[in-house]
Structure 1
Amino acid sequence: MHGGAETMPARAEEPTKRDFLHITTGVAAVGLVGGLAWPLIDQMNPAGDTLALASVEVEYTKVTLGQQIVVKWQGKPLFIRHRTPKEIAEAVADDHADLRDPATDASRHKPGMAEWLIVIGVCTHLGCVPTFGQGEYGGWLCPCHGSVYDTAGRIRKGPAPKNLVLPDYSFEAGGKVKVG
């Protein structure tokens, strides 16, 4: 006989019932975790009504010279003002005035569209809604605390720290402006 022990080739173990149960339990656990996690992840998406408010299209060509319309956008008033040549001239004349939040009139509207001013109609002090045509600069006045904005929506007097906010917007075909 041979002096060494004979080695037999290793035979792969055949799957057992226990292996099947382990695999099945693992797959079920992954499915359960995924099923529980999905509602938590999905609830972080914005609601349908929020998505609907993400942008708004407004027909601006029907707004007459000197008129302002107010549209609700993202739960806030949006002022779309068709400025008169006098309002534009007053705003341009004050471009180099001592402004708390410096901005030129040209930076407050789209190029070539100076007659259209679109701002979020919320006072930057405490969130009140200012009214147009009051105050010494011919623009908006916040009746709650006396913040005064000029015809370009720039803060001129009062406690408000910033100009009226400019939203993202673009003029579309067909006389519409899309905000948001």
Structure 2
Amino acid sequence: MADTLTETTVQQYDQLAARYEQLRRIHPDERTADQNTQLQDLNQKLAAILATPPAGYSLPKVAADLIDHAKVHGWLAQAQWTYPGFTGEPHVKVKVGRRLTEDERPLYRGTHWLFTLTWHSRDCSPGKVRKFGSGLAATPDNPALHDGPSIKAIRAVIADNPAPDAAPLALF
């Protein structure tokens, strides 16, 4: 017998993701204010679902520490696990970033910092994940996606470039 809670979460995710994609297909200039609000709401709901690890898994301490470090410095950060009902080997992507303020923009070619790191369960014992590759980065001085730096270097970039006290700008 299937787990009712899991079925419900899977169904909820599928419905939210379908509506999200439907709204994203509308050109931004043609979306109504209500549609933009719906997109933001759907994005938050989907992010909350994806932040939940699959049964038996947890976020690696180094990933959780990076997310905490980013948030303390005013950056946006989130963990995105494989979607509910995924039957392959689970993985988690950790994204940290922030957009530049208007005052910062003249200093750079790009518009934001974004670091994406992945931990994968491939060839690991059940419930374990390990870092996969170097990750990806897009930075104000190098806006094209490129190989990311080490976690230690990412933490240094975050500490050296805290977000201003103003309300955070949406990144994801």
Structure 1 length-normalised TM: 0.27
In proportion to residue count, which structure has more helix?
2
User: Over alpha carbons, which structure has the higher Rg?
Assistant: 1
